[in-house]
Amino acid sequence: MSCGPSWTVTRGPVTDFETFEREAQRRFAAAQAEFVAEELARLDIDGPTVEIDGVGIGGCCGARKRT
């Protein structure tokens, strides 16, 4: 039985930990944003919309320009 991940990474060893850490943070933030966006898309799709200068704010799609 293996204690490691079921996937493999195809890159060399880390030579600059600061760059590695920044890239790890970027990837986790992107995954978190996608995860949260999926859940938010399921919530309150019938909420009210307010129009300011021709831009509808709220509702299911956020801000959108009225055409």
Tell me the average pLDDT of the chain.
77
Q: What is the b/e burial string over 46-61, where b = at least 16 CB atoms within 10 angstroms of the residue's CB?
A: eeeeeeeeeeeeeeee
pLDDT for 50: 80
Sheet strands (E) in the chain: 49-52, 55-58, 64-65
Average pLDDT over residues 27-47: 85
d(CA 9, CA 31): 17
Side chain identity at residue 2, one-letter code: S
Residue 1: both structure tokens together: 């039985």
Place of tokens 């490691």: 4
Judge contact between 55 and 66, C-beta under 8 A. Answer: yes
Average pLDDT over residues 31-54: 82
pTM over 0.85: no
